[in-house]
Amino acid sequence: MFVYVKKYSEGFLSVKLPYSVKNVEKVRKINGRKWIQSDKIWVVPDNEDTTKLLSRLFGKGNVFFENYEYDKDTMMALKDELKLKNYSVKTQKVYLGHVRRLLQYHKKCIDVIDRDDIRSYLLELVNQDKSPAYIDQAVSAIKFLYINVKKCSDDDFDINRPKREKKLPSVLNASEVFKIIESVDNLKHKAIIMLIYSAGLRVSEAAFLKIEDIDSKRNLIHIKQAKGKKDRYTLLSNATLEILRQYVKVYKPKYWLFEGQKGESHITVRTIQRVFERAALKAGVRKKVTVHTLRHSFATHLLENGTDLRYIQELLGHESPITTEIYTHVSEKDFGKIQSPLDRILNSRI
């Protein structure tokens, strides 16, 4: 579903979208909206608050602020191709958003945007201090459009990608992990944090877990259709299993392991992130950490305890061992055996 927004009159935008009761309810949340019966179209105030609200209500990847009608077909073709190639819903939204922003920047039809236009747009992203990862993602989205939808060759799409930063992940030590867990009083929230750390989960994987994914007999967790549309198994620790049993007994989830507030769907990723942020703050952790830091800590602690890197790769669901090898750079296992030359000099003087 696409929502098309364009100039209607001085101070107003027109909003064209498929009819449904849900869509009408969303539009009614916009202050100053009007239904123009003669044109059979919604009109909303032309201001920044309205455009941001439209993106929140309908999703950034679905709202197309157009100055021209002739790129509807391109956006529809792009969305269809992403679906046919079985890209995740999240990736579809991201790619559509990048292409939409390219069109908005140049205010041209996609058929007349050339290589120089693409380069100037990417340079603008650099000037806006967008991260190399963000720009690399934009290149991937635009390349997908030109190669898979416009049927250009790889040689025609000769766009250099930005050099990726090589940052080491932030890692918690065992004491910090313990303090974070102990700082949480809510049983459900404690179970979530323990599960993510003990199994090395991504936050979205924890949010999407179903009750049936917990294999208590084999002490395994079945992660289904995770990043890269891959299934895998990871560890279910005894301590986590025990708190999950307490949690299920009290909260009685029916389908999703961790239900949202209304019980109709799973808990949101943002809710889990807020739970962790509050826990880390309460625990007095001064490092810059996110809930994903628990996954990094899981991998690093396994490596320090002697677990083979190949097993860690499988548990994390990494496609390449190169991705997993980053944890060898943050592990204290080998560094702890190396004596600083300063210590050696001072000790020899004692």
**pLDDT string in tens for the chain (350-residue length):** 567 787 788 888 888 888 888 888 998 999 999 998 888 889 999 887 888 888 788 876 677 766 544 467 788 889 999 999 988 888 898 999 899 888 877 766 777 788 888 888 888 888 888 888 889 999 999 999 988 888 887 776 777 777 776 777 788 999 999 999 999 999 999 999 999 999 999 999 999 999 999 999 998 999 988 777 788 999 899 999 999 999 999 999 999 999 988 777 899 999 999 999 999 999 999 889 999 999 999 988 888 888 888 888 888 888 777 777 777 766 666 655 655 565 665 676 65
The boundaries of the domain holding residue 68 are 3-149
Contact status, residue 135 vs residue 123, Cβ threshold 8 Å = no
Q: Is residue 227 part of a domain?
A: yes
Separation CA 318–CA 316 (nearest Å): 6
DSSP code string of 118-184: HHHHHHHHHHTT--HHHHHHHHHHHHHIIIIIS---TTT---PPPPPP-PPPP---HHHHHHHHHT-
| Catalytic residue selected from 6, 93, 130, 227 | 227
| Catalytic residue selected from 95, 121, 197, 327 | 327
Q: Is residue 345 part of a domain?
A: no
Q: Is residue 50 part of a domain?
A: yes
Q: Is residue 53 part of a domain?
A: yes
Contact status, residue 270 vs residue 277, Cβ threshold 8 Å = no
Do 121 and 183 share a domain, yes or no?
no
Indicate if 106 belongs to the active site: no
Residue tagged 């929230």 (tokens): 189
Indicate if 287 belongs to the active site: no
Do 324 and 181 share a domain, yes or no?
yes
Q: Is residue 341 part of a domain?
A: no
Indicate if 329 belongs to the active site: no
| Catalytic residue selected from 98, 189, 295, 301 | 295
Indicate if 227 belongs to the active site: yes
Do 274 and 132 share a domain, yes or no?
no
| Catalytic residue selected from 106, 130, 292, 333 | 292
Condensed to tens digits (0 to 9), the pLDDT of residues 196-245 reads 999 999 999 999 999 999 999 998 999 988 777 788 999 899 999 999 99
pTM of the prediction? Answer: 0.63
Q: Is residue 212 part of a domain?
A: yes
Do 120 and 197 share a domain, yes or no?
no
| Catalytic residue selected from 318, 329, 344, 349 | 318
For residue 222, give the CATH number of its domain: 1.10.443.10
For residue 102, give the CATH number of its domain: 1.10.150.130
| Catalytic residue selected from 202, 232, 266, 296 | 202
Q: Is residue 157 part of a domain?
A: no
Indicate if 167 belongs to the active site: no
Structurally, the chain folds into a number of domains equal to 2
- Residue 13 pairs with which residues in a beta bridge? 7, 44
Sign of CA dihedral 264, 268, 274, 276: positive
Do 207 and 130 share a domain, yes or no?
no
Do 123 and 227 share a domain, yes or no?
no
The angle subtended at Cα 295 by Cα 87 and Cα 228, nearest 5°, is 15
Indicate if 295 belongs to the active site: yes
Closest Cα to residue 157, out of 166, 148, 165?
148
Closest Cα to residue 117, out of 106, 130, 132?
106
Q: Is residue 317 part of a domain?
A: yes
Closest Cα to residue 120, out of 132, 133, 131, 106?
106
